[in-house]
Every structure is written in structure tokens, then in C-alpha cells.
């Protein structure tokens, strides 16, 4: 099976730790330090592999932090190709405060990418044979908002599908070109339309508008603890996960994208793919720091979500009857 190629243009080294209390002007002692390879596409590749899929992570990285990122990927046995850059790869950090049970996340902008480095990344993508490419994460400084247009063109030349998970100007510009699947959060969808959506029905209508305008074949809108909405050409589904005790918010969206992609590659129906994705997004928040979804949690939650569904289908509720 061809690998699911993931593209990470602004990766991170994700550090995480725990502190009793965070106070200004004080030295904060932390414990339980952990470091993981991070950034949207890299996280997607990690979860694809965890779920038994085949992934190849292409990423830009530079400096000593880039070397550490490469080592972390090797340690986790992620198939990856590094495209060297001059700038230093960013280092993010998440601190869990025990006294409040709140999580604090610190995420730098990251390095600036030159045109030469961007062209080298595109050349690396062109070399590989794939049916799906996941473009996930923020665009680094130095690249135009429509940078992903060139990724779409490369994928089109291979008759491959593009799955997009980004935000802001990059999301708006890329949707102008059109993709197979896009996964905005509710906040990102609201930013795209320039208005708040007070209920899931309003978000569903906005996603339907994007599909009907040809910006994407499938829109998956994540709603946090309220689950997700999936809108396709032939139907719309919403699924709410079971209540759980969240330990971290890191990587929930990336886990959702990874599971959705794996399910689609496996040929599952869209409602089953939604259930699998919601299970993975929910599983991710069960793990501390940047550990992401674990396969045993995903399968357990997926089984619970589809327990009342007919054989071979997910327990997602259709809000528009599929044709």
C-alpha cells in the first residue's frame, strides 16, 4: 500500500512537564519532562503509524533543534524525510499546573523559510508516489498564504487527494483552489466566515456552503468536547463522544485527521470514518503532554461509538439523509 504522505512545514519539538503552581517572577520547578516530535503533519504520521497505517513524514528542519527532531522521529520509528533549512526548528512547551488542573501551552512562531528551501521541499514531495497527502499545520514565515496551491498541483499530477488542516489566511487561500477534505475547528470555521456560529446547525450550514461551492469534497468540523460534524456531497453527520476526563489538549485535532485518513484509505464509509476520527480525537486527550492517541483507546472508544449502529456502520446520527 502506498504511504500516506504528511507535510509539515513548521514542525516543533514538543516538550511537556508538570508544575505544582505557575506564578510570575518565580522560578517554576517542573517534573515529568517529556519530548516528542511535533507539528501537524508529524503528529498525523505518528498516529497513522499507531493505528497500523503506512505514513511518510516530509518536514523542514534546521539547526541543533532540527537534529534533535530527527533523532526523536528515529526513536519513534517514524518513516521520515528531512528537508534541511538554515533557520532553527522551533521548540514548544506545555506545562500542566497540578493545583488548578489547567494546561499552559507556549508555541513560538518558528523560522523563516526561503524560496530555495520551499522549492527543495516541493521537489522532495514530487519524488514520492502517493494517493493521499496530508498538509497539516501552520505555514512558516516567508511562505505566501497560497503556498499549498503548489502541493495541490503536485498531487493532481499524481491523481492523488489532498487533506488539509490549517488555519487563517492559508486556509482561505487553499480553499480557493479546492481540496478533497479539510478539517477546520469550529473557531477556524468562524474565522473563515467572519462570524460566530451559535449552534452546530449554523456550523453545519457553513460547511455545506463550502462543499456546494466546490472548495472541498468533504468538510469535517471539530467541536471539541461536543464532537464533530462531517459534511459530504451526499450527506451530513454529527457525532458526540462519550464524556471523559481530559489530561491534555495537545494533538487532538491531528489524531482526528490521522484516523479519518486511515479510515478513508481503508475504504470505510464516511459515517464510520467520522466515528473512528472522533474516537481518535477523544483518545488523544486521555494522554498527557504530546503523547497523542493510543490504538487501544481508539479501538475501545470506536467500539462504544458504534455499539448501537447496524453491522458495519458507525453510530453517527445523519442530519441529512444520505442519497
Residues annotated as catalytic (active site), given as ranges: 254
202 grid coordinates: 449554523
**266 vs 83, 182, 224, 278, 280, CA distance in Å?**
29, 18, 25, 17, 16
> Phi, psi at residue 20, to the nearest 5°?
-70, -45
In this structure, what DSSP letter does residue 199 have? Answer: S
136, β-bridge pairs = 165
Helix axes 115-127 and 148-157, enclosed angle (nearest 10): 20
> Phi, psi at residue 85, to the nearest 5°?
-130, 165
Distance CA 43, CA 306 (A): 26
Distance CA 161, CA 65 (A): 32
> Phi, psi at residue 142, to the nearest 5°?
105, -20
Q: Quickly tell me which residue has 497527502 as its cell.
A: 133
Distance CA 151, CA 137 (A): 14
Helix axes 40-50 and 252-265, enclosed angle (nearest 10): 50
Amino acid at each position: 500500500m502506498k504511504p500516506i504522505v504528511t507535510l509539515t512545514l513548521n514542525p516543533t519539538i514538543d516538550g511537556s512537564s508538570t508544575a505544582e503552581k505557575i506564578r510570575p517572577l518565580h522560578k517554576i520547578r517542573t517534573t515529568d519532562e517529556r519530548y516528542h516530535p511535533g507539528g501537524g503533519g508529524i503528529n498525523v504520521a505518528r498516529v497513522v503509524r499507531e493505528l497500523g497505517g503506512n505514513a511518510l513524514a516530509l518536514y523542514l528542519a534546521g539547526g541543533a533543534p532540527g537534529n534533535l527532531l530527527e533523532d526523536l522521529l528515529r526513536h519513534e520509528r517514524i518513516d521520515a524525510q528531512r528537508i534541511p533549512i538554515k533557520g532553527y526548528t522551533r521548540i514548544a512547551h506545555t506545562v500542566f499546573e497540578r493545583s488548578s488542573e489547567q494546561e499552559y501551552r507556549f508555541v513560538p512562531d518558528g523560522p523563516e523559510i526561503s524560496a530555495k528551501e520551499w522549492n527543495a521541499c516541493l521537489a522532495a514531495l514530487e519524488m514520492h508516489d502517493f494517493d493521499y497527502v496530508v498538509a497539516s499545520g501552520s505555514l512558516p514565515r516567508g511562505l505566501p498564504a497560497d503556498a499549498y496551491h503548489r502541493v495541490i498541483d503536485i498531487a493532481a499530477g499524481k491523481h492523488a487527494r489532498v487533506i488539509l488542516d490549517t488555519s487563517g489566511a492559508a486556509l482561505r487561500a487553499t480553499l480557493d483552489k479546492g481540496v478533497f477534505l479539510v478539517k477546520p475547528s469550529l473557531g477556524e470555521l468562524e474565522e473563515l466566515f467572519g462570524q460566530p456560529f451559535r449552534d452546530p446547525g449554523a456550523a453545519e450550514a457553513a460547511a455545506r456552503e463550502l462543499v456546494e461551492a466546490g472548495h472541498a469534497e468533504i468538510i469535517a468540523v471539530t467541536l471539541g468536547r461536543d464532537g464533530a460534524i462531517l459534511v459530504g456531497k451526499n450527506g451530513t453527520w454529527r457525532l458526540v463522544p462519550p464524556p471523559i476526563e481530559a489530561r491534555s489538549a495537545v494533538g487532538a485535532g491531528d489524531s482526528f485527521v490521522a484516523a479519518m485518513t486511515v479510515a478513508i484509505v481503508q475504504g470505510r464509509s464516511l459515517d464510520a470514518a467520522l466515528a473512528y476520527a472522533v474516537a481518535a480525537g477523544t483518545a488523544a486527550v486521555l494522554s498527557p503532554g504530546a503523547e497523542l492517541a493510543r490504538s487501544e483507546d481508539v479501538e475501545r472508544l470506536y467500539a462504544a461509538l458504534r455499539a448501537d449502529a447496524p453491522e458495519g456502520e458507525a453510530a453517527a446520527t445523519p442530519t441529512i439523509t444520505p442519497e
